[in-house]
């Protein structure tokens, strides 16, 4: 007959009140858990999105955070582009010494609300995601460098739009599509459509929610190159009248621009080279370089971290209120239980023992509510996971834990001991003789 | 077995005045002796039992149980002593509602610090005729059955002294004798001294020794 059992029996005797206080504790704990887990997932997902390359280079105008958000997470649009020549410097020119990989990306169009990213096949051949995971294709293959109007779609795009190899898209040409102007634009480009040749396996990164087209094909679409160069091109050829058909012409480099260049440096062989490259590029004022991990850390520290803190404080307040509820519930029961406590004292239980019983009750209620809250919090995250993954690309599962959750259990025990102290003191002070002779 | 010397106990009135309840020069009970304590209502019988059990501290005097002076013990020590050496049967049974008959008996063993003897608990319940009711909670037991559980509980730790405060008062007339016989027989079997408080002359007549508290309590008036 342990004191735990005695405490548990007392709880059972007041089952409704006990259940209500435990549930209120569970609600508070579940909110704290959900906030911790969601923050952790978002943080990891943001970091994952930026893994695989060390640097992103974009126009000098605008902030580095804007550059990272647009270039890595396809959120927003940088205000300017970078000359194609600068990309070439990174790819094979004076800046290429420590750049193992330099991948250009152009943003600006969309397909059914999903970002169209113009790039080179090297994006999926030389870059990895989540640091060391190679891109794989669930269907088909990567697009060829020479096949200007080939495309690859992310897993979420394929699932949601039905666009894939030989399916979806244009009704008369299944598996083909024409991107629409601008991020949220509705006006389709009037040109030869792109043909999907591959569907990526899910990566858990923003790339799941993008459509990747050959950058050369992108440049051949009207409005994607410098006006001057395009006019010159038109002047050199009297297209359809002379040739009788539309054909793609090589676009000179000076007409091209890129939104950003994703750079993977040889940081492993030359530690610190990434920051040196970033410094050098930033000093030139032609472009700017951002280290995605740094910018994301800053974003989380300055903004998202504060949001998390506010939500956590809110959750902790609920837990504290629930704790006070436990105290009130047990304290209010003390007047009914004086007789019971006096009986235990008369059987030989010391003051300290009855006090322990009350404290154990408080701990059982808090822990019970806390464990329920842990399960509820994770359950809610798991239940919402598919919807959140669908909307944002962040995948969440039932077993996603954050180390900070380990503090919850000892924290609840401490809280329980604190809130249980007052009722326990009332038990301690019970006048045995008087309580025994009073009506039970 | 039990020896009280110069016991004085007073209660505080709301206005702060002291209301003397007990003023006893001497009181003894021999080992294994069974005796009855009578007296008018309010003369201090229950208070005396509580002082003997260490539940209530006397203002002056000494209580010796088996040569241990419990008035010299600290409160926790006294609680432990009571658990190990003194059994108490209450008028209103005072069983714990949330626990079964067996658990109520086991609880009495819990606070001694010794190993809980489940076998003894079951034996005692069998002895009081409740072998088939061990898992029943007090609400599911009749009044007579509850009092029998209380008797079993009081004997759980093999006390040498058992105090019974009007144990048949709340038992129906048909079962009063049964409870009384049970108490006397089990105390006789276990060699336990019994001090039984009663208002009932029929009960008192069955004992060889009947003391009237008013005869040796010099306080005169008091509340039980």
pLDDT recorded at residue A395: 67
Q: Which residues of A touch B111 (CB under 8 A)?
A: 344, 347-350, 353
CA distance to B1, B72, B206, per residue, from B69 (Å): 11, 6, 31
pLDDT recorded at residue A229: 46
Q: Which residues of B touch A436 (CB under 8 A)?
A: 50, 55, 90, 94
pLDDT band at A372 (very low <50, low <70, confident <90, very high): very high
Question: Is B82–A346 a contact, with Cβ atoms under 8 angstroms apart?
Answer: yes
Q: What pLDDT digit, counting tens, does each position of A26-59 carry? A: 988 888 888 888 888 777 777 776 677 889 999 8
* 8 Å CB contact between A177 and A170: yes
Please say whether the dihedral angle defined by the alpha carbons of residues B87, B134, B92 and B10, taken in this order, is positive or negative: positive
Q: How far is B89 from B81, CA to CA, in rounded Å?
A: 17
Q: What pLDDT digit, counting tens, does each position of B172-219 carry? A: 777 788 888 888 998 898 889 999 999 888 889 999 999 999 999 888
Q: How far is B163 from B47, CA to CA, in rounded Å?
A: 12
Question: Is B82–A432 a contact, with Cβ atoms under 8 angstroms apart?
Answer: no
Q: CA-nearest residue of chain A to B107? A: A1
Question: Is A1–B103 a contact, with Cβ atoms under 8 angstroms apart?
Answer: yes
Question: Is A436–B90 a contact, with Cβ atoms under 8 angstroms apart?
Answer: yes
- Reported ipTM exceeds the 0.95 cut: no
Under CATH, to which class is B2-216 assigned? alpha beta
User: For B80-99, what is the mean pLDDT?
Assistant: 90
Q: CA-nearest residue of chain B to A2? A: B110
User: Domain ranges in chain B?
Assistant: 2-216
- pTM for the model stands at 0.73
**A9 at the B interface (CB within 8 A)?**
yes
CB atoms < 10 A from the CB of A165, how many? Answer: 20
Nearest by CB to residue B94, choosing from A6, A351, A436, is A436
- Residue contacts between A and B (CB atoms, under 8 Å): 73
Nearest by CB to residue B50, choosing from A340, A347, A433, is A433
| Nearest CA-CA distance, residue B106 and chain A, Å | 7
Residues of chain B contacting A, Cβ within 8 Å: 46-47, 50, 53, 55-56, 75-76, 79-80, 82-84, 88, 90, 92, 94-99, 103, 106-112, 116, 153
The residues near B16 (Cβ < 8 Å, ≥ 6 apart) are none
């Amino acid at each position: 007959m342990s004191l735990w059992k005695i405490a548990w029996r007392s709880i059972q005797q007041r089952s409704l009140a006990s259940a209500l206080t435990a549930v209120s504790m569970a609600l508070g704990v579940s909110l704290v858990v959900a906030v911790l887990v969601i923050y952790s997932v978002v943080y990891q997902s943001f970091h994952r999105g930026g893994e695989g390359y060390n640097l992103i280079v974009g126009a000098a105008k605008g902030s580095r955070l804007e550059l990272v958000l647009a270039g890595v997470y396809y959120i927003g649009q940088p205000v300017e582009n970078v000359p194609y020549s600068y990309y070439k410097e990174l790819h094979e020119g004076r800046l290429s010494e420590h750049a193992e990989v330099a991948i250009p990306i152009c943003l600006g169009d969309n397909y059914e609300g999903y970002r169209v990213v113009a790039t080179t096949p090297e994006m999926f051949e030389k870059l990895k995601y989540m640091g060391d995971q190679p891109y794989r294709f669930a269907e088909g293959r990567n697009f060829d460098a020479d096949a200007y109007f080939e495309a690859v779609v992310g897993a979420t795009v394929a699932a949601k739009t039905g666009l894939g190899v030989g399916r979806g898209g244009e009704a008369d040409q299944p598996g083909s599509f024409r991107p629409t102007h601008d991020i949220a634009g509705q006006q389709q480009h009037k040109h030869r459509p792109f043909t999907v040749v591959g569907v990526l396996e899910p990566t858990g990164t923003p790339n799941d929610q993008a459509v990747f087209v050959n950058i050369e094909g992108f440049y051949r679409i009207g409005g994607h190159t410098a006006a001057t160069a395009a006019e010159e091109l038109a002047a050199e050829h009297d297209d359809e009248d002379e040739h009788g058909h539309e054909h793609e012409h090589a676009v000179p480099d000076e007409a091209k621009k890129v939104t950003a260049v994703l750079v993977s440096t040889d940081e492993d062989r030359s530690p610190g080279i990434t920051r040196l490259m970033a410094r050098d590029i930033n000093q030139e004022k032609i472009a700017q370089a951002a280290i995605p991990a740094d910018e994301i850390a800053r974003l989380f520290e300055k903004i998202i971290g504060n949001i998390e803190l506010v939500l956590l404080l809110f959750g902790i307040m609920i837990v504290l209120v629930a704790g006070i509820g436990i105290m009130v519930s047990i304290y209010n029961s003390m007047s009914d239980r004086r007789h019971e406590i006096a009986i235990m004292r008369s059987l030989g239980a010391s003051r300290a023992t009855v006090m322990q019983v009350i404290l154990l009750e408080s701990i059982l209620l808090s822990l019970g509510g806390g464990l329920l809250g842990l399960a509820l919090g994770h359950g809610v995250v798991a239940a919402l996971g598919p919807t959140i993954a669908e909307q944002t690309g962040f995948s969440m599962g039932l077993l996603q834990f954050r180390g900070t959750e380990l503090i919850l259990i000892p924290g609840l025990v401490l809280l329980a001991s604190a809130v249980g102290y007052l009722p326990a003191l009332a038990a301690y002070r019970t006048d045995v003789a008087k309580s025994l002779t009073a009506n039970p | 077995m039990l020896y009280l010397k110069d016991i004085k106990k007073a209660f505080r009135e709301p206005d702060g005045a002291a209301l003397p309840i007990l003023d006893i020069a001497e009181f003894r009970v021999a080992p294994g002796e069974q005796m009855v304590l009578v007296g008018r209502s309010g003369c201090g019988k229950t208070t005396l039992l509580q002082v003997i059990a260490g539940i209530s501290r006397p203002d002056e005097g000494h209580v010796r149980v088996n040569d241990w002076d419990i008035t010299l013990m600290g409160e926790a020590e006294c609680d432990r002593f009571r658990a190990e050496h003194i059994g108490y049967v209450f008028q209103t049974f005072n069983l714990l509602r949330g626990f079964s008959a067996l658990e109520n008996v086991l609880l009495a063993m819990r606070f001694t610090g010794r190993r809980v003897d489940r076998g003894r608990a079951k034996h005692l319940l069998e002895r009081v005729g409740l072998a088939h009711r061990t898992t029943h909670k007090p609400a599911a037991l009749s009044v007579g059955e509850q009092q029998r559980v209380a008797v079993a509980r009081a004997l759980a730790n093999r006390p040498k002294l058992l105090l019974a405060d009007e144990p048949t008062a709340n038992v129906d007339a048909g079962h009063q004798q049964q409870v009384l016989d049970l108490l006397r027989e089990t105390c006789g079997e276990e060699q336990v001294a019994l001090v039984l408080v009663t208002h009932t002359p029929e009960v008192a007549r069955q004992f060889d020794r009947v003391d009237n508290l008013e005869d040796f309590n010099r306080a005169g008036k008091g509340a039980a």
